[in-house]
Structure 1
């Protein structure tokens, strides 16, 4: 893993410093993150399976893209950057809120993040980076909820928390779905 700093924040998302990413996850310090939910024109959410050798949560299914803005980088720009790096796609993103959570990940790692959530709509080829992603799936919200209830251990801790809070339960309300 290369050296990467995250932005430490207080509960109101005010920057209070930076810290090396691994140390922030070892110490459980609250830091800024982002998560992206990409929907297709049929109302399905793009899920990715995290690359098995990631330093945490490898092999687990999660939302379309997630990560941390770099110091001096806005969350939307970071989300756009990582969406291209992880999944090989680009589309407009709109903010849909923030979410703060804390999750013990095992091996002494703690995710404690104030997450900026974004959504986008994309219909096209997906070309994930194999060092980031071991697979992807377009899934209907009802199927995702059912799978999380049946096998929550197959999903990232943050994605389960998002689902419990009702985040990825439906496509954007302004998405026009084709009539079947």
Structure 2
């Protein structure tokens, strides 16, 4: 497993090879990715501000964590690995949807991803990896929506694309009485 490679995929997310991460972003080749969205018991979303040395998206706000699985690694295992590496914890995750997008980002790079989206709950201690994250904040969805409308350039492209679906999913969870906060009670028992 090479952390500097991404898994190339078809539009149906079938793996067809690997490519060096920077080359894939320079060429805009479709590759597998994931995004993790976490909430506290009040329904606030955990946001991270990306570190300044990131090759794109430096200092932009985004979801709890996002990255790429390595060859031979499941998407969920990769999501847990990156939570540990970026924020210093693990928490139960549920895959809620996937989407595909293509977006130009700074430094003449192209994000072209089949993005698996996971959700979970967390309220415990966070240990920021300064190579990956420079800040975190818990925000109400309504506040995030206002910020996205007023200053979308402060957020990553994938976050701007995924947020409306996350907001719809969250509202359905509340309507059904199934907020993803069961994990918080389990965290408190440990």
Q: Which bin holds the TM-score, normalised by the shorter protein?
A: over 0.9
Say if 1:101 and 1:112, in contact at 8 Å, map to a contact too.
yes
Cα distance in 2, alignment partners of residues 106 and 40 from structure 1:
32
Contact 1:36 1:117 in 2 (8 A): yes
In 2, the alpha carbon distance for the partners of 1:100 and 1:48 equals 22
Greater helix fraction, Structure 1 or Structure 2: 2
Q: Which blocks of at least 5 consecutive residues in structure 1 are unaligned?
A: none
Aligned 1:4-15 pairs, distance under 5 A: 4-15=4-15
Deviation beyond 4 Å, 4+ runs, structure 1 = none
Unpaired stretches in structure 2, ≥5 consecutive residues: 182-190
Report what 2:111 is aligned to. Answer: 111
TM-score by length of 2: 0.88
Whether the 8 Å CA contact 1:102–1:113 is kept in 2: the answer is: yes
Residues 1:24 and 2:24 are matched in the alignment: yes
TM-score (norm 1): 0.92
The RMSD of aligned alpha carbons is: 1.6
Offset at 1:166? 2.6
Match of 2:185 in 1: none
- The aligned runs of 1:64-79 (5 Å cut-off) are 64-79=64-79
- Would you say the 8 A contact 2:3–2:70 is kept in 1? no
Distance 1:14 1:45, change over 3 A: same
Q: Which residue of 1 aligns with 2:187?
A: none
1:109 Cα deviation from its structure 2 partner: 0.2
**TM-fit CA distance, 1:106:** 2.6
Aligned equivalents of 2:83, 2:64: Cα separation in 1: 8
